[in-house]
Amino acid sequence: MTLRFVSYAVFVGLLTGLGLFFHAGVRDAASWSWFVLGGLAAAAGMAWLARSAIDRSFETGAAKDALEPDEAAMAPSVDVVDGDEEVAEDEEVDYLTALRHEFRTPLNAVLGFSDVLLSGIDGEVNESQREDLEIIRASGIRLKLLLDSALDLSHLAYDDLRLNEDRIDVRELVSRVAAEAGQLWSNKRSATCVLPEQPCITEADESRLRRSMLVLTDFLATDHRDAEIELSLVPTGSHLAIEITAGASDRLSFDALPTTAEVLASEEAGEIRRWPVAVTAEVISRHRGSLYHGNSPSRFLIRLPQLGGR
């Protein structure tokens, strides 16, 4: 209370002195000198009171700690139970979320500045430099896909995957995936796109659905390096059919779609390479959709519910 009173007194005194100096005509050197000295003395007194108050608070806290028992020492020891394990799992998921954020920040910088250099804003680049930059950008996109899929796999392992669903036109999404697939392959290949004229509306997590289509497109392109990749969208009654096809190829990618449980339990390199596809299958299932695959030619088929479809 004393400290607050002194601070108010100093503040009012300074305002009064400034008012007298500028408006009341009190401008002689002696009066102004006494005003300044008085203000400094009051400030010094306030500082001394503040120091005293802080010292008293520390002494009071130390005395209180000395009188109170150590709660940690008196607490009974308990064994680890299932609830504690669940807390540890939640902390691990939070750690993975923070880790993704730390990775995505430099990744976004790599992708962003690659696009800046490729656009020619900082000067023209020759063909050799452009090829190198496209490889850098493609590697960054692929690493981002793997990172996001790994985080979703960890959420699926704990049954904690949450979708941010919104109404989207799937035509725009399929067209965007076809364009980004070319960047993913360093513009050495391209994916064609066949779209209907009418809107194809569904409710989905746009970023996850886009990533799912990119993963499947890249999987087919990797297994069929000489095949033409085509994405098509067809409304079929109450559903939307998104087909990703590796044309002019009869090679079968795999006999059955892997599940997340199989991927997590597998120690074979071939199975582990398929884990992004397993995550994609589960993500599409969470969208109330389904994923199929076939051969002659090799293809993936995604079926999603269409809003307003009949």
Q: Are residues 170 and 286 in the same domain?
A: yes
Q: Is residue 74 situated within a structural domain?
A: no
A 10 A CB-CB count for 105 gives: 9
Pick the more confident residue, 190 or 253.
190
Any idea which of 10-14, 124-128, 147-151 has the lowest mean pLDDT?
A: 10-14
CB 206 within 8 A of CB 172: no
Pick the more confident residue, 117 or 50.
117
- In the chain, the N- to C-terminal Cα span, in Å, equals 75
Joined tokens for residue 219: 């999987």
Residue 203 pLDDT greater than 80, yes or no: yes
Q: Are residues 29 and 49 in the same domain?
A: yes
Q: Are residues 96 and 18 in the same domain?
A: no
User: In this predicted structure, what is the pLDDT of residue 41?
Assistant: 55
What pLDDT band is residue 158 in, cutting at 50, 70 and 90?
confident
Q: Is residue 77 situated within a structural domain?
A: no
Residue 159 pLDDT greater than 80, yes or no: yes
Range of the domain at 30: 2-67
Among residues 67, 98, 118, the one where a domain terminates is 67
| β pairing state of 290-294 and 228-236 | unpaired
Q: Are residues 103 and 63 in the same domain?
A: no
Alpha helices in 68-169 (DSSP H): 71-74, 82-119, 127-157
pLDDT digits (tens, 9 = 90+) for 83-116: 444 444 455 456 666 776 777 788 888 888 888 8
SS3 assignment, position 229:
strand
Nearest to 103 by CA among 138, 133, 145: 145
Residue 277 pLDDT greater than 80, yes or no: yes
Number of structural domains the chain divides into: 3
Q: Are residues 251 and 183 in the same domain?
A: yes
A 10 A CB-CB count for 17 gives: 18
Residue 37 pLDDT greater than 80, yes or no: no
pTM of the model: 0.65
Q: Are residues 14 and 110 in the same domain?
A: no
Q: Are residues 275 and 182 in the same domain?
A: yes
User: In this predicted structure, what is the pLDDT of residue 180?
Assistant: 92
User: In this predicted structure, what is the pLDDT of residue 80?
Assistant: 39
Nearest to 154 by CA among 270, 36, 20, 282: 282
Q: What is d(CA 261, CA 270) in angstroms, rounded to the nearest whole number?
A: 15
CATH of the domain at 265: 3.30.565.10
Q: Are residues 189 and 297 in the same domain?
A: yes
Q: What is d(CA 202, CA 170) in angstroms, rounded to the nearest whole number?
A: 7
Residue 239 pLDDT greater than 70, yes or no: yes
Residue 78 pLDDT greater than 50, yes or no: no
User: In this predicted structure, what is the pLDDT of residue 16?
Assistant: 57
A 10 A CB-CB count for 238 gives: 11
pLDDT digits (tens, 9 = 90+) for 12-36: 554 555 455 444 555 555 555 555 5
pLDDT digits (tens, 9 = 90+) for 283-299: 999 999 999 988 778 88
Q: Is residue 199 situated within a structural domain?
A: yes
A 10 A CB-CB count for 65 gives: 9
Q: What is d(CA 133, CA 123) in angstroms, rounded to the nearest whole number?
A: 14
Q: Is residue 73 situated within a structural domain?
A: no
